[in-house]
Amino acid sequence: MPGVGPRFWRVLRLDGARQPALLAVTTDFHLVYELEGRLQIVPLGPASTNMASLQWLDADNGQPGAVATFGIERVASVDAATLLSGGRLLRTSNDAVVDVAQLKIHRVRPWVPSGSGLPLAGLNGGSSQRAVALSPSGKQYVVPAHGSDPVTGFRYDGLVVVQLESGDAYGLKIDWERMRYRDVHDIDFAWISNYFERRSDSAGRELLQPKKNAKHVPWKGRLTNFGRHSEYRIEPVTERMQDELRRFLIERFSGKIAIRTGGSPVVNVNVLSVAGCDQTVVISMHDEHVGLFVSEEAAQPAARCQDLLATIASAFDDELATGRLDKHFMAVAGTR
């Protein structure tokens, strides 16, 4: 196939297009369709060493859905595995958004160019590979981004708002002291809706702006998977959060501080046995997070204890939602 080469990883049929259309997938995408009796093969971005990724911007109640990646693989069912459906606006990696219904291609640049003189020049959302919000008009979408101060070199988080018609973007800085989040993975549509709002400028163009006096979203922990095992992490917090988590395990889950025998007894207040699991759980402090995990020295059944860990995580998230432990988060304590 011209422009694609003799091989490609997948072919995807675009459901909802005005005429039959395909996406040929390798590490990039080519849109393939017929126009006035001639085959059109349109590259949607430059060749890349990254995995090809797709995301519907209007999949989940009109908001961005999950990111799908494609590699070399066999498909069990050609009919099911080659049909791509779920919305109208399809983001292909970081280079283009395809209006599938019209087969119209929007070339996009999810960054504020360095040296442009624009506010937050250098803020780049190209590495996130994830859109988190679509404007009501469907003309702009938002991606988490990273930037650095050209004078101090200090790194900061922000948002890049990409405008489909022009492909250009503008940046918004995130105020971590006022807007609660652990890292950009916490930023989703609900978070955007809580801290930002859309207004129109004098020309009627949409602008995303921080809300004044927005209420805080509750702090939450996160279950991080490491293969067969998980760790519940709360961050960014001070060391006092260890004490609160230990207290919680003792009061709510009948936790007992483990005492190792053999020679003289050894007491570690951060190693506890917990009801419902014949193993021990460990509280740890590293960098800015407190973690809770099942001891690697514990015997089977591990699955039951991993389930209990998820139960503890959900219960402690409810405890965090009360706001009583806010003072132990660095963004509130002013120690970050």
pLDDT digits (tens, 9 = 90+) for 175-218: 877 888 888 888 999 999 999 999 988 877 889 999 988 998 89
Query: CA separation (Å) from 198 to 134, 184, 207, 217, 264?
Result: 11, 20, 5, 19, 64
Q: Is the pLDDT of residue 261 over 70?
A: no
Q: To the nearest whole percent, how much of the chain has pLDDT over 70?
A: 87
Could you report the per-residue pLDDT of 29-43, keeping only the tens digit for each? 999 999 889 999 999
Mean pLDDT of 272-293: 86
- Burial of 75 per CB tally in 10 Å (0-12, 13-18, 19+): exposed
Q: How far apart are CA 212 and CA 53, in angstroms?
A: 35
Mean pLDDT of 245-253: 95
Phi, psi of 304 (to 5 degrees): -60, -40
pLDDT of 182 reads: 82
User: Helix or strand or coil: residue 156?
Assistant: strand
Q: What is the CATH number of domain 222-333?
A: 3.30.310
Strands 29-35 and 21-25, by their bridges, are antiparallel
148: which 2 tokens? 């650095």
Residue 84, number of CB atoms within 10 A of its CB = 23
- Burial of 91 per CB tally in 10 Å (0-12, 13-18, 19+): buried
Q: Is the pLDDT of residue 49 over 90?
A: no
Domain ranges of the chain: 10-105, 133-210, 222-333
Could you report the per-residue pLDDT of 51-72, keeping only the tens digit for each? 778 999 999 899 999 998 876 6
Query: CA separation (Å) from 192 to 93, 116, 132?
Result: 22, 26, 8
Q: Is the pLDDT of residue 267 over 50?
A: yes
Average pLDDT, the chain: 86
Half-sphere exposure of residue 41: CA atoms within 13 angstroms, side-chain side: 9
7: which 2 tokens? 């091989």
Q: Is the pLDDT of residue 315 over 70?
A: yes
Better-predicted residue by pLDDT, 299 or 320: 320
- Tell me if 210 sits within 8 A of 174, measured CB to CB: no
189: which 2 tokens? 């549509």
Length of the chain: 336
Q: Name the range with the highest mean pLDDT among 135-139, 270-274, 293-297.
A: 135-139
Could you report the per-residue pLDDT of 71-98, keeping only the tens digit for each? 666 666 566 678 899 999 999 988 999 9
Mean pLDDT of 92-121: 94
Q: Name the DSSP class of 141.
A: E
- Burial of 286 per CB tally in 10 Å (0-12, 13-18, 19+): exposed
pLDDT of 99 reads: 97
pLDDT tier, 300 (very low <50, low <70, confident <90, very high otherwise): very low
Taking the whole predicted model, whether its pTM rises above 0.85 is answered as no
pLDDT of 147 reads: 92
Q: Is the pLDDT of residue 159 over 50?
A: yes
Please measure the distance between the N-terminal and C-terminal CA atoms of the chain and give it in whole angstroms.
54
Strand partners, 140: 163
pLDDT of 230 reads: 85
